[in-house]
Chains A and B, each alone.
Chain A
Amino acid sequence: MYQASNISFRVRDKIILRDINLSIEPGAFTAIVGPNGAGKSTLLKVMAHEHTEYHGDVTINGKAARNYSPKELAWVRAVLPQTTTVQFTFTVEQIVMLGRHGHKATQKENAAILDEVMSLTGIDHFRERNYLTLSGGEKQRVQLARVLAQVWEETVYPRYILLDEPTSSLDIAQQQLIFSLAKQVCERNIGVMAIIHDLNQAVQFADHLYFLRGGKIVASGEAQQVFTKSNIEETFCCRVNVYHDPCNNCPYIIPERTMQQPLSISSKR
Chain B
Amino acid sequence: MNLALSIREYRTAIILTALGIGLVIAILLSLTIGAVSVPIADVAIIILQKAGLFQNIAVDSMHEVVLSTIRIPRIVMTILIGAALGVSGASLQGLFRNPLVEPSLIGVSGGSAAAVVIMIVFGGFVIQADGWMYTILLPVLAFAGGITATFTVLRLSNQTGRTNIAVLVLTGVAINALAGAIIGLAIFYADENQLRTFTFWTLGDLGGATWDKLMIASPLLILSSAGLIFFSPTLNALALGEAEAYHVGVDVEYTKRVVIFLSALAVGVSVSLSGMIGFIGLIVPHVIRVSFYADNRLVLPGSVIGGALLLVLSDIVARTVVSPSELPIGVVTALIGAPFFIGLLMNAKRKNEL
For A, the interface residue count at a CB cutoff of 8 angstroms equals 33
User: Are B239 and A87 within 8 A (Cβ)?
Assistant: yes
Which residue of chain A has its CB nearest to the CB of B233? A101
User: Are B233 and A50 within 8 A (Cβ)?
Assistant: no
Whole-angstrom distance from the CB of B246 to the nearest CB of chain A?
A: 6
B239: which of A69, A90, A130 is its contact (CB, 8 Å)?
A90
User: Are B249 and A70 within 8 A (Cβ)?
Assistant: yes
Q: When each residue 91-102 of chain A gets 1 if its CB lies under 8 Å from chain B and 0 otherwise, what string results?
A: 100110011011
User: Are B289 and A84 within 8 A (Cβ)?
Assistant: no
A69: which of B236, B251, B353 is its contact (CB, 8 Å)?
B251
B237: which of A75, A89, A91, A101 is its contact (CB, 8 Å)?
A101
In angstroms, Cα B244 to Cα A150, docked, is 12
User: Are B248 and A74 within 8 A (Cβ)?
Assistant: yes
User: Are B247 and A79 within 8 A (Cβ)?
Assistant: yes
Which residue of chain B has its CB nearest to the CB of A88? B294
User: Are B295 and A90 within 8 A (Cβ)?
Assistant: yes
User: Are A79 and B244 within 8 A (Cβ)?
Assistant: yes
Which residue of chain A has its CB nearest to the CB of B251? A70
User: Are A81 and B244 within 8 A (Cβ)?
Assistant: yes
User: Are A87 and B247 within 8 A (Cβ)?
Assistant: no
Q: Does A133 contact B (CB under 8 A)?
A: yes
Q: Does A86 contact B (CB under 8 A)?
A: yes
In angstroms, Cα B94 to Cα A87, docked, is 9
User: Are B248 and A99 within 8 A (Cβ)?
Assistant: yes
B240: which of A73, A77, A89, A98 is its contact (CB, 8 Å)?
A98
Q: Does B320 contact A (CB under 8 A)?
A: no
In angstroms, Cα B348 to Cα A132, docked, is 13
User: Are B247 and A78 within 8 A (Cβ)?
Assistant: yes
Q: Does B98 contact A (CB under 8 A)?
A: yes
* A101 contact set on B, CB distance < 8 A: 233-234, 236-237, 248-250
Q: When each residue 236-270 of chain B gets 1 if its CB lies under 8 Å from chain A and 0 otherwise, what string results?
A: 11011101101111111000000000000000000
Question: Which residues in window 98-122 of B have CB below 8 A to A?
Answer: 98-99
A102: which of B97, B239, B243, B249 is its contact (CB, 8 Å)?
B249
* A190 contact set on B, CB distance < 8 A: none
Q: Does A261 contact B (CB under 8 A)?
A: no
User: Are A48 and B240 within 8 A (Cβ)?
Assistant: no
User: Are B233 and A87 within 8 A (Cβ)?
Assistant: no
User: Are B246 and A86 within 8 A (Cβ)?
Assistant: no
Q: Does B56 contact A (CB under 8 A)?
A: no
* B128 contact set on A, CB distance < 8 A: none
Q: Does A85 contact B (CB under 8 A)?
A: yes
User: Are A89 and B233 within 8 A (Cβ)?
Assistant: no
Q: Does A71 contact B (CB under 8 A)?
A: yes
Q: Does B293 contact A (CB under 8 A)?
A: yes
User: Are A50 and B247 within 8 A (Cβ)?
Assistant: yes
In angstroms, Cα B281 to Cα A17, docked, is 45
* B252 contact set on A, CB distance < 8 A: 70
* A50 contact set on B, CB distance < 8 A: 243, 246-247
User: Are A88 and B249 within 8 A (Cβ)?
Assistant: no
* A85 contact set on B, CB distance < 8 A: 241
Whole-angstrom distance from the CB of B163 to the nearest CB of chain A?
A: 14
* B248 contact set on A, CB distance < 8 A: 74, 78, 98-99, 101-102, 146, 150
Q: Does B193 contact A (CB under 8 A)?
A: no
Q: Does B352 contact A (CB under 8 A)?
A: yes
* A132 contact set on B, CB distance < 8 A: 352-353
Which residue of chain B has its CB nearest to the CB of A74? B249
User: Are A89 and B289 within 8 A (Cβ)?
Assistant: yes
User: Are A98 and B237 within 8 A (Cβ)?
Assistant: yes
User: Are B246 and A70 within 8 A (Cβ)?
Assistant: yes
Which residue of chain A has its CB nearest to the CB of B348? A89
User: Are A86 and B240 within 8 A (Cβ)?
Assistant: yes
Whole-angstrom distance from the CB of A67 to the nearest CB of chain B?
A: 15
Q: When each residue 217-236 of chain A gets 1 if its CB lies under 8 Å from chain B and 0 otherwise, what string results?
A: 00000000000000000000
In angstroms, Cα B249 to Cα A91, docked, is 21
Which residue of chain B has its CB nearest to the CB of A102? B249
Whole-angstrom distance from the CB of B8 to the nearest CB of chain A?
A: 9
User: Are A94 and B295 within 8 A (Cβ)?
Assistant: yes
Which residue of chain B has its CB nearest to the CB of A128? B8
Which residue of chain B has its CB nearest to the CB of A130? B353
In angstroms, Cα B240 to Cα A102, docked, is 14
Chain B residues near A (Cβ < 8 Å): 94, 97-99, 233-234, 236-237, 239-241, 243-244, 246-252, 289, 293-295, 352-353
Q: Which 10 A-B pairs have the closest CB atoms?
A: A102-B249, A74-B249, A88-B294, A79-B247, A71-B249, A87-B97, A101-B248, A101-B237, A70-B251, A89-B294
15 more A-B contacts (CB under 8 A) besides A78-B247, A88-B97, A101-B237?
A45-B243, A70-B250, A74-B248, A75-B249, A79-B244, A84-B244, A87-B98, A87-B99, A87-B239, A88-B99, A89-B353, A94-B295, A99-B248, A101-B233, A130-B353
Would you list 22 pairs from A and B whose C-beta atoms are within 8 A, ordered by A residue? A48-B247, A50-B243, A70-B250, A70-B252, A73-B247, A73-B249, A74-B248, A79-B247, A81-B244, A85-B241, A88-B99, A88-B289, A90-B236, A94-B236, A98-B236, A98-B239, A101-B249, A101-B250, A102-B248, A130-B353, A132-B352, A150-B247
